[in-house]
Amino acid sequence: MMAEPILVNRTRFTSSLKNELMAGFNELAAETRIPKSRLIDEAIEDLLKKYEKKNG
């Protein structure tokens, strides 16, 4: 049995996406060769900036 990798700079979480978003997400990751975790980081950063402007 393999041990879970130790994440120093990341936090593991579980979520789900709309089915219709998954194909585009997979294609974007494949075309750009950017890991999905990095794409999610970018999306969350953009969301935080968006809502900071509205609420801040």
Evaluate whether residue 25 is within a structural domain: yes
Does any domain span residue 2? no
Domain count, the chain: 1
pLDDT for position 56: 66
From first to last of the 56 residues of the chain, give the pLDDT tens digit: 677 788 899 998 999 999 999 999 999 999 999 999 999 999 999 999 999 987 76
Helices (H), 1-56: 19-32, 36-55
User: Residue 51 domain-assigned?
Assistant: yes
This prediction has a pTM of 0.80
In a domain, 44, yes or no: yes
Instruction: Give dist(CA 12, CA 36) in Å, integer.
Output: 13
43 belongs to a structural domain: yes
Residue ranges making up the domain that contains 25: 19-55
